[in-house]
């Protein structure tokens, strides 16, 4: 029986090598190594405080774990773990401890199961990665906010689209503000996950029912910065809510990045020409010399599908499981790690690529009025003069049809004709260009310069709080 296995006493024969390899999660687990070391250090502190091990044993175990912690960043521990034949990173760390401190290493797993060990390690991982996700998303939101303030000063206007058809004029600052709002929400979600991951510490729950050893669970709570010990061992060792919440936050954030990326990919195309990605973030073609491809945003767009797939798979792996621990949860862990690592990498790439986008205000403004995007403003002006919404819609729609057939824009003459058809006593005014349209908006949350400024000011205040730049 391999010395790296944490079980085997009741077995007479070694496990089938192929089946053992099938059951290994080591490659997925290696990312958890530093968190497992921290978990093990807290367990050693608990064993010592509870007088289950003596001071010398505790010192030897802690020294061994500190040595392993130093081996992790360089990849030295990963190489040793792969060579050890361990089933997972938890077994690999214990085996390494027994190599460094043979006598003391025999005590490391006292009062602990891999079940509560894995649950605690995952909570620490979720806390760390959620904190990282919040930092990335706050950076994206802050960049979008700063860009929005510059675009607001310039009053750059473009035609917003619905169904990818011209809809109504908006400020570029309004669009950038929307991006900032999306990533503010993502920051909040990550912050909630990080906070929830601190609430209860599973360590000390054992395999499913607690321990007959007098473990002072408050020690691990303090060492690992949790709020309290978990209340129910059966629930604690099988609960994966925090891991799922982490992956959900990752999937949601990459989804937001994917949606923005879709727009930027099209805006960088000559058919739009609204944006240009500089050389540092573009790629070319092996065949076509003229190509400038927005690859980072295309890859981010695809990464959202991967994160969503991992989240769906993680959910499915839990479907129908009874309480307590089941080996199916190994697949849950793998999906959480894969989806989280790939998703956070995509978010970091998105954050790195955004500053390389340059805006073509001239192209935006030259086409901001295309597609009769002021038609709604004209209909609103008729409604303000007492014309019913239905009648105003019909009258303006007819005016658009006439102008479209003539190949011209809507003009003051159309407003005069509409006033006559609507039987108004006097002519009425309405915006006839894109900038006049955005300036005419009156509602809170609209694209008017004043409303955009208020929204950006409010957003900045909330974002600073969520990013931890002001007291919570």
Among 459, 470, 465, smallest CA distance to 182 is for 459
Distance CA(282)–CA(143), nearest Å, equals 20
16: which residues sit within 8 A by CB, 6+ positions away?
none
> Would you call 285 a catalytic residue per the annotation?
yes
Among 127, 125, 169, 179, smallest CA distance to 148 is for 179
> Would you call 90 a catalytic residue per the annotation?
no
Distance CA(437)–CA(170), nearest Å, equals 8
The torsion angles phi and psi of 50, rounded to 5 degrees, stand at -90, 5
Contact present, 205 and 178 (Cβ < 8 Å): no
Terminal CA-CA length for the chain: 53
- Spell 185-216 as b/e; 16+ CB within 10 A means b: bbbbbbbebbebbbebbbbbbbbbebbeeebb
Helix locations, 101-113, DSSP H: 102-105
**What is the C-alpha R_g of the chain?**
30
75: which residues sit within 8 A by CB, 6+ positions away?
none
| Cα distances (Å, whole numbers) of residue 53 to 89, 214, 215 | 24, 12, 11
Contact present, 201 and 220 (Cβ < 8 Å): yes
Among 105, 183, 159, 255, smallest CA distance to 447 is for 159
93: which residues sit within 8 A by CB, 6+ positions away?
33, 36, 37, 40, 65, 68, 81
Give 178-210 as a DSSP string: HHHHHHHHHHHHHHHHHHHTTTEE-TT-TTTT-
Query: Which position among 4, 25, 147, 163 bears the catalytic label?
Result: 163
**Tokens representing 68?**
């392993």
How far is it between the farthest Cα atoms of the chain? 101
Distance CA(427)–CA(425), nearest Å, equals 7
**Strand-pair partners of 358:** 276
Query: Which position among 40, 282, 285, 317 bears the catalytic label?
Result: 285
Contact present, 109 and 94 (Cβ < 8 Å): yes
Contact present, 102 and 221 (Cβ < 8 Å): no
| Active-site amino acid positions | 163, 285
């Amino acid at each position: 029986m391999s010395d790296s296995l944490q079980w085997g006493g009741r077995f007479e024969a070694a496990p089938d090598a192929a089946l053992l390899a099938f059951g290994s999660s080591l490659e997925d687990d290696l990312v958890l190594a530093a968190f497992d070391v921290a978990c093990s250090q807290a367990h050693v502190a608990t064993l010592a405080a509870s007088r289950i091990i003596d001071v010398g044993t505790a010192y030897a175990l802690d020294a061994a774990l500190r040595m392993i912690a130093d081996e992790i960043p360089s990849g030295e521990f990963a190489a040793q773990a792969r060579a050890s034949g361990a089933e997972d990173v938890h077994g690999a760390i214990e085996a390494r401890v027994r190599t460094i401190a043979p006598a003391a290493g025999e005590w490391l797993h006292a009062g602990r199961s891999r079940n509560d060990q894995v649950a605690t390690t995952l909570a620490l991982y979720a806390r760390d990665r959620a904190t990282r996700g919040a930092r990335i998303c706050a950076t994206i939101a802050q960049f979008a906010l700063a860009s929005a303030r510059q675009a607001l000063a310039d009053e750059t206007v473009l035609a917003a689209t619905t169904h990818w058809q011209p809809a109504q004029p908006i400020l570029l600052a309004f669009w950038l503000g929307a991006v900032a709002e999306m990533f503010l929400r993502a920051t909040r979600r990550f912050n909630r996950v990080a906070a929830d991951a601190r609430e209860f510490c599973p360590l000390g729950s054992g395999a499913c029912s607690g321990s007959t050893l007098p473990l002072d669970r408050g020690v691990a709570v303090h060492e690992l910065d949790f709020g309290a010990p978990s209340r129910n061992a059966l629930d604690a060792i099988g609960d994966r809510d925090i891991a799922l919440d982490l992956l959900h936050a990752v999937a949601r954030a990459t989804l937001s990045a994917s949606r923005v990326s879709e727009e930027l990919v099209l805006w960088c195309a000559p058919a739009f020409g609204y944006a240009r990605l500089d050389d540092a973030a573009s790629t070319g073609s092996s065949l076509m010399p003229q190509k400038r491809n927005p690859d980072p945003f295309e890859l981010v767009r695809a990464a959202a599908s991967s994160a969503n797939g991992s989240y769906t798979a993680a959910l499915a792996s839990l479907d129908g499981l009874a309480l307590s621990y089941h080996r199916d949860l190994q697949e849950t862990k793998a999906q959480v790690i894969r989806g989280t690592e790939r998703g956070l990498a995509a978010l970091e790439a998105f954050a790195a690529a955004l500053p390389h986008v340059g805006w073509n205000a001239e192209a935006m403004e030259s086409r901001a009025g295309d597609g009769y995007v002021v038609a709604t403003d004209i209909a609103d002006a008729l409604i303000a003069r007492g014309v019913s919404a239905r009648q105003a819609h019909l009258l303006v729609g007819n005016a658009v049809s006439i102008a479209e057939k003539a190949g011209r824009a809507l003009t003051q003459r159309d407003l005069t004709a509409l006033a006559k058809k609507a039987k108004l006593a006097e002519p009425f005014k309405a915006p006839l260009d894109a900038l006049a349209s955005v300036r005419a908006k009156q509602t809170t949350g609209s694209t008017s310069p004043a409303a955009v400024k208020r929204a950006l000011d409010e957003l900045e205040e909330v974002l600073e709080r969520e990013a931890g730049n002001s007291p919570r």
